[in-house]
């Protein structure tokens, strides 16, 4: 008889701590890709536990078990992209509902809120959730508080425990996008959040080769609501993509440690560069969120943003990097540099960008696993 183990995070990246998840009896080390749209029934009223892959598929289920384990959740649901996950989540709200949201979010989230969800008569207040008085924005229609921490791209930090207490006091859902730190460095559910969001495309996948999204919840009630939504709208992650994310998660712990180590060295180099005006990284002792980050996270991650002297210099760097890729996305093994003005936050008005500090001199860096000397040399020659 096998004993159930209480695995550490690095081990959970390889094995779900849920017993009986494998459908395969061959002894295969790599979990199989069940590339099947439908499943046969032994008879009327009898089922193997799987009916149709829109509802559930063994490969997706195994992936969900691992992500749920990593976040210490009740249930996890895997979607075809991060935006598909957020879109499905918004379906638990009704016309007239109000959501308090962070004002420094991924531009795609704001685009969804301001267009699709606004059309469906859901309203939003965008505030600085790390500093503003959240309770002053709560109304009888408020149903949730939605934050990213650290934020994209300005790396602002919100105190998860503090906001969780406010949400609980007012009977609100507390939603945290945990993409930037991944479950390896931060677990919002443990700190009091109700729902955690991940763009699985990023650190969980880690190889810039597929799209995925996740919702991890802390209760049976939320699980039931979202399971109904995912089977109804049909945005579940496909078997092969589920397998790619499974493969990526196996090296999550190693990648996160190496990427963070590289990021810390790049931050130090940027601070010595006279052409760099500001560096935004929660691991800097003078960062406003440094103490909170130390309290609620196990690491500072590998995302950083920096501001250069002029917009011309920013454009020169983007066109001059050779090893580093000028591209959207983040969290992969390759280092990527992004220009939020024209990429991740292009759909925001100039006024909204300026409110959060996104100017033509701002660059975002997702640090990969390359040799640090090569990365710094490339940045140096690009400057």
Q: What is the pLDDT of residues 188-210, one digit of tens each?
A: 999 999 999 999 999 999 999 99
**Residue 21 confidence (pLDDT) above 60:** no
**pLDDT tens per residue across span 285-315:** 999 999 999 999 999 999 999 999 999 999 9
| pTM metric for this prediction | 0.95
Quick one: pLDDT band at residue 1, thresholds 50, 70, 90?
A: very low
**Residue 353 confidence (pLDDT) above 80:** yes
Catalytic site includes residue 106 = yes
Q: Classify the C-alpha dihedral 180-313-348-81 as positive or negative.
A: negative
pLDDT at residue 26, as a whole number: 83
Output the six-digit token pair for 269: 């180099």
Please name the residue that has the structure tokens 């990097």: 321
- With CA atoms as reference, report the closest residue to 105 among 154, 44, 62: 154
List the catalytic residue out of 54, 111, 231, 316.
54
Please report the DSSP string for 150-213 in residue order: S-TTT-----HHHHHHHHHHTT-EEEEE-TTTHHHH--TTTTT-SEEEEETTTTTT-SSS---E
Any residues with CB less than 8 A from the CB of 133 and at least 6 apart, and which?
none
C-beta atoms surrounding 363 within 10 Å: 23
How many whole angstroms from its chain centre is CA 270? 25
Q: Residues 42-51: what's their mean pLDDT? A: 90
Please check whether residue 18 is in contact with residue 59, taking contact to mean a CB–CB distance below 8 angstroms: no
Radius of gyration of the chain (CA): 21
| C-alpha separations of 292 from 131, 172, 266, 374 in Å | 12, 22, 22, 32
Output the six-digit token pair for 147: 């934050």
pLDDT at residue 56, as a whole number: 95
**Residue 23 confidence (pLDDT) above 70:** no
List the catalytic residue out of 177, 194, 241, 378.
177
List the catalytic residue out of 12, 60, 143, 202.
202
How many whole angstroms from its chain centre is CA 287? 21
pLDDT at residue 79, as a whole number: 98
pLDDT at residue 4, as a whole number: 56
CA dist 162 and 164 (Å) reads 5
Please check whether residue 202 is in contact with residue 332, taking contact to mean a CB–CB distance below 8 angstroms: yes
| C-alpha separations of 76 from 119, 295, 370 in Å | 28, 25, 32
**pLDDT tens per residue across span 132-176:** 999 999 999 999 999 999 999 999 999 999 999 999 999 999 999
Q: Residues 91-106: what's their mean pLDDT? A: 97
**Residue 5 confidence (pLDDT) above 70:** no
pLDDT at residue 354, as a whole number: 79
Quick one: pLDDT band at residue 57, thresholds 50, 70, 90?
A: very high
List the catalytic residue out of 34, 106, 126, 281.
106
Q: Residues 88-112: what's their mean pLDDT? A: 96
Spell out the domains of the chain, with CATH numbers in brackets.
20-249 (3.40.640.10), 252-382 (3.90.1150.10)
How far apart, in Å, do the first and last CA atoms of the chain sit?
Answer: 61
Q: Residues 68-93: what's their mean pLDDT? A: 98
Catalytic site includes residue 177 = yes
With a pLDDT cut of 70, the percent of the chain lying above it is 97
**Residue 123 confidence (pLDDT) above 50:** yes
pLDDT at residue 3, as a whole number: 47
Q: What's the whole-number average pLDDT of the chain?
A: 95
CA dist 32 and 29 (Å) reads 9
Any residues with CB less than 8 A from the CB of 374 and at least 6 apart, and which?
323
Please report the DSSP string for 78-143 in residue order: EESSHHHHHHHHHTTS-TT-EEEEESS--HHHHHIIIIIIHHTT-EEEEE-TTTS-GGGG--TTEE
**Residue 22 confidence (pLDDT) above 90:** no
């Amino acid at each position: 008889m096998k004993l159930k183990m209480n695995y550490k995070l690095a081990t959970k990246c390889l094995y779900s701590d849920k017993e009986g998840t494998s459908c395969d009896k061959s002894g295969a080390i790599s979990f199989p890709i069940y590339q099947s749209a439908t499943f046969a029934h032994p008879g009327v009223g009898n089922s193997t536990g799987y009916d149709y892959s829109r509802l559930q598929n063994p490969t997706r289920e195994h992936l969900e078990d691992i992500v749920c384990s990593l976040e210490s959740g009740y249930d996890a649901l895997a979607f075809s992209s991060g935006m598909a996950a957020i879109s499905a989540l918004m379906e638990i709200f009704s016309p007239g509902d109000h959501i308090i949201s962070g004002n420094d979010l991924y531009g795609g989230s704001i685009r969804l809120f301001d267009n699709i969800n606004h059309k469906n008569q859901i309203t939003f207040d965008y505030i600085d959730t790390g500093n503003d008085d959240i309770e002053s924005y709560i109304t009888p229609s408020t149903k949730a508080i939605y934050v990213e921490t650290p934020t994209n791209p300005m790396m602002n930090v919100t105190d998860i425990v503090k906001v969780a207490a406010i949400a609980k006091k007012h009977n609100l859902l507390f939603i945290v996008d945990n993409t930037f730190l991944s479950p390896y460095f931060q677990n919002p559910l443990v700190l009091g959040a109700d729902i955690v969001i991940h763009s699985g495309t990023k650190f969980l996948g880690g190889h810039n080769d597929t799209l995925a999204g996740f919702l991890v919840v802390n209760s049976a009630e939320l699980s039931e609501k979202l399971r109904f939504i995912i089977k109804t709208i049909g945005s579940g992650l496909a078997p092969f993509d589920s397998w790619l994310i499974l493969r990526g998660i196996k090296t999550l712990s190693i990648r996160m440690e190496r990427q963070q180590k590289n990021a810390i060295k790049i931050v130090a180099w940027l601070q010595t560069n006279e052409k760099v005006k500001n560096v935004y990284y929660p691991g800097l002792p003078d960062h406003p969120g440094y103490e909170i980050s130390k309290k609620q996270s196990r690491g500072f991650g590998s995302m950083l943003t920096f501001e250069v002297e002029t917009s011309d210099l920013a454009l020169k760097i983007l066109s001059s990097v050779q090893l580093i890729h000028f591209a959207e996305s983040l969290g992969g093994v390759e280092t990527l540099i992004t220009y939020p003005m024209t990429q991740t936050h292009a759909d925001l008005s100039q006024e909204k960008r300026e409110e959060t500090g996104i100017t033509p001199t701002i660059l975002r860096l997702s640090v990969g696993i390359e040799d640090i000397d090569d990365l710094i040399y490339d940045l140096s020659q690009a400057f």
